[in-house]
Amino acid sequence: MSLFYQRLDETGDGSGNDNMNIDGSSAPIIFKIKPGIDESLKIARIIVYVEDSGTFDAEKWGNGITMSNGIEFKLKQNGIPVNKLGFNIKSSGDMAGICHDLNHQAFGTGNEFVTFRLTFTKAGRYVRLSGAEGDEMQCIINDDLSGLVKMHIIAQGFYA
């Protein structure tokens, strides 16, 4: 088994735009992991990285973005979007409540950043994605996050 590390991006194969500091307020933008047709993945965890200027606020996203729709995490199985991951994030506090693992860094100069780690295996199992079945892990941006410096999500696991 080979290890798998890939940022969610707009194409799902690692070749598309992976910076989620975009405006999805007028039309949602989907970032995803989509295995190749002959690949299967077992995703153990995701790590969310948010970098912004200023001080982070637990009731907002980054240093002050108010989200009305939020960031959705979904699975697409057998070509059909399903809400098995079932969470919608509207603030840093929401994300910390789901992930528990949070790391906030403010070094005194430069931008602050936060990382959130959500480990699916600690909840009992891997998220399995089959390319032959058209499976995807999706992060849907439904608000304007263009004020962020950076936002990335990396999936970690292995080829099954």
In this model, does residue 99 exceed pLDDT 70? Answer: yes
Residue 85: pLDDT band with limits 50, 70, 90: low
**Alpha-carbon distance 120 to 117, whole Å?**
10
pTM of the model: 0.92
**Alpha-carbon distance 127 to 43, whole Å?**
5
Q: Report in angstroms the alpha-carbon separations of 70 from 13, 24, 37, 109.
A: 24, 10, 31, 29
Q: How many CB atoms lie within 10 A of CB 119?
A: 14
**Alpha-carbon distance 61 to 128, whole Å?**
29
Q: Report in angstroms the alpha-carbon separations of 106 from 45, 47, 83, 109, 143.
A: 24, 18, 34, 8, 25
Residue 84: pLDDT band with limits 50, 70, 90: low
In contact, 155 and 31? CB cutoff 8 Å: no
